[in-house]
Amino acid sequence: MALQQTGATPEWLTAGLVYLSQWLGYQMRVTAQPGCAVAVTYQGRVVLDEAFGHADLAQAEALTSRHRFRVASHSKSFTAAAILKLREQGRLKLDDTAGQFVAGLHADVATATMAQLLSHTAGLFRDGLDSAYWAGRAPFASEAALRADLALPLAIDANMRMKYSNHGYGLAGLVIEAITGEPFNVWVQREIVVPAGLAETTPDMPLPEGALLARGHGGKTLLGHHVVFPGDQSTHALAAATGFVSTAADLALWFGQLAPNAAKSVLSVASRREMVRAHVPYLWTDGDLDYGLGVNRGVTEGWEWFGHGGGFQGYITRTRVVPAEELAISVLTNTAGGMSPAWIEGALTILQRFKVEGAPTAATSDWGGRWWNTWGAQDLVAFAQKIVLVDPADIKPFRHATELVVTGPDKARITDAPSTASYGEPVRRVRNAAGEVIEMRIASGTSIPEAALKAELLARYQAAAV
C-alpha cells in the first residue's frame, strides 16, 4: 500500500487509509474488475496512491499508480475553471451569451449563457444527433460536426431543468478558443493544468512520450470475457466535455484545489465558491444531488462533498472532495460497469467512521485483522474504544456492523448487533504454543486465517470442486 506520510496526517486518517486499502483490495477480489486506481489527498498532499489489478488484461500488464485513465466528464471541471479564469481576467461574464463569441449557432443556441452551459441548463442536445463515437463506431466529433449540431434548435427551452449536455461543454470550448485565439487544449494545458501542478494530466490524446495508459475493458456479460479497448482516440472538438486523461493522484489534487478553503488554486476564492455552490438540482436520482459549474454536489453519511464522475468506453471514474475535512478522493476503474461509483461511496463511509470513532489504541490495535470461515471473510476493525466486525464484501462495510468491546487480553463481548446476529455473546481469541492467534471464536462460530481455511477446504472438498 502506497501511504505517503509527509507532513502532519491525523491518526484517524492514517488508520482509515490502511483499512480503505485492505477493503478495496478485497472488493477487487470479489468483483474481479480488471483494474482500479485510488488516491486520497489531505490538505493538498497525496496521502494514499495505490493501484490494483491490470492496466491491460490481454497483455497481463499490471496497473500502477502512474497509469493514466480516460477520465471523461471530469474534463468539465477543467473547462468550467477555464471559463471562470477568463472571467477573473475580465474577458467574459457568466451571463454573456455564446453568440457573442461564436458565429453560426442556431438563434436559440446563441442565447445560451456561460452559466447555463456550465450548469447544464441551456437546453442543448446531450450528444447531438449521432453519438456513434461513444461506441467506438466513429471518430469523436470534429469542429465542423459539432458546429453542425449547434446550428440545430434547442432540445428543450433553457432553464427548464438540468439537462446534461456534452455539446454544451463543447460549445464552451469554442468560446474559450474564440476569446484566447488558441486551441482549447493548448490554452487550458498552459493556463490551468500546468499552474495547478498536474504533471500527469493532458486535455486529450496523444499522451507525452513514455506516459502509461490504462486500457479500457468491456464487460463480461456479452462474450463471457473482457475485450480490450485501446482508449487512445482523440475526442477532437469534444475535449472540453470529455477529453481529459489523468491519474487518480492528479485528479484528487485538482479537485482538492477547487475547494474554497484550499490553500492553493488557479482560481480565486470567489470563483471557487461560484463553481461549487448549488446551481440546479439533479432529477430522478437517489439522494439529494445538485450541479454547480463543472462539478456535482451531494452528502454521504453527513459529509458534504463536491466532485464529478466520468464514463468513457471501458472506463468509469469518480472523484469527491469533502471541504470540511480537507480531503479529496479519486477512484478510477477501467471497465464498462466499473465499480468506482459504489467504491467511492464506500471509501467516504470508511473514512467518516474512522473520524467519528478515532484511531485504534494500545488496548484495541492488536484485535484488527481478517479472518475466514466457509461463508467468506470477516474483518475485525479496531477503533479507539471498540472493535467492529464487518463484511469486506459489503459496499458500505460499517452500515450494519457488529460491535465488540474488549473485556480482557483475549476476550471481548458483542455489545451491539443486528437482531439476527449474536448480541451479548462472548468473543475469544485462541493462541498456539508460540502465542500466535490462530482462531477467532465469535459467539458460537470459529474463523481462522485464509491459508488455514484454504488447506481445510482442499482436504475436505477437493474431489467435489467444480
| pLDDT given for residue 2 in this prediction | 66
Q: What is the mean pLDDT of residues 174-190?
A: 98
| pLDDT given for residue 284 in this prediction | 87
Indicate the SS3 state at residue 367. Answer: helix
With 0-12 CB in 10 A as exposed, 13-18 as middle and 19+ as buried, what is 141? buried
Alpha-carbon dihedral 220, 341, 74, 138, rounded to 10 degrees: 20
Residue 118 half-sphere exposure toward CB, CA atoms < 13 A: 29
Quick one: 69-351 is in which CATH superfamily?
A: DD-peptidase/beta-lactamase superfamily (3.40.710.10)
Question: Given pLDDT bands bounded at 50, 70 and 90, which one contains residue 126?
Answer: very high
Indicate the SS3 state at residue 136. Answer: coil
Separation of alpha carbons 66 and 57, rounded Å: 17
Question: Given pLDDT bands bounded at 50, 70 and 90, which one contains residue 287?
Answer: confident
E strands, 282-325, where? 290-291, 296-300, 303-312, 315-322
Q: What is the mean pLDDT of residues 261-280?
A: 98
Domain residue ranges of the chain, discontinuous segments joined by +:
69-351, 360-466
Say if residues 221 and 291 touch (Cβ distance below 8 Å).
no
Alpha-carbon dihedral 13, 19, 22, 27, rounded to 10 degrees: -100
For the chain, give the mean pLDDT: 96
C-alpha cell of residue 287: 439522494
pLDDT surpasses 60 at 6: no
How many H helices and E strands in the chain?
Answer: 12, 22
Q: What is the mean pLDDT of residues 68-80?
A: 98
Alpha-carbon dihedral 441, 446, 450, 456, rounded to 10 degrees: 140
Q: What is the mean pLDDT of residues 55-65?
A: 98
Geometric angle at alpha carbon 103, from 100 and 109, rounded to 5° = 75
Q: Output phi, psi for 4, to 5 deg.
A: -120, 100
pLDDT surpasses 60 at 5: no
Percent helix, percent strand, percent coil in the chain, to nearest 5: 35, 25, 40
Q: What is the mean pLDDT of residues 226-253?
A: 98
* Higher-pLDDT residue of 285, 229: 229
C-alpha cell of residue 273: 465558491
Question: Given pLDDT bands bounded at 50, 70 and 90, which one contains residue 71?
Answer: very high
* Higher-pLDDT residue of 374, 288: 374
Can you say whether residue 140 is alpha, beta or left, with left for phi > 0 and alpha for psi between -120 and 50 degrees? Answer: beta
Whole-prediction pTM: 0.95
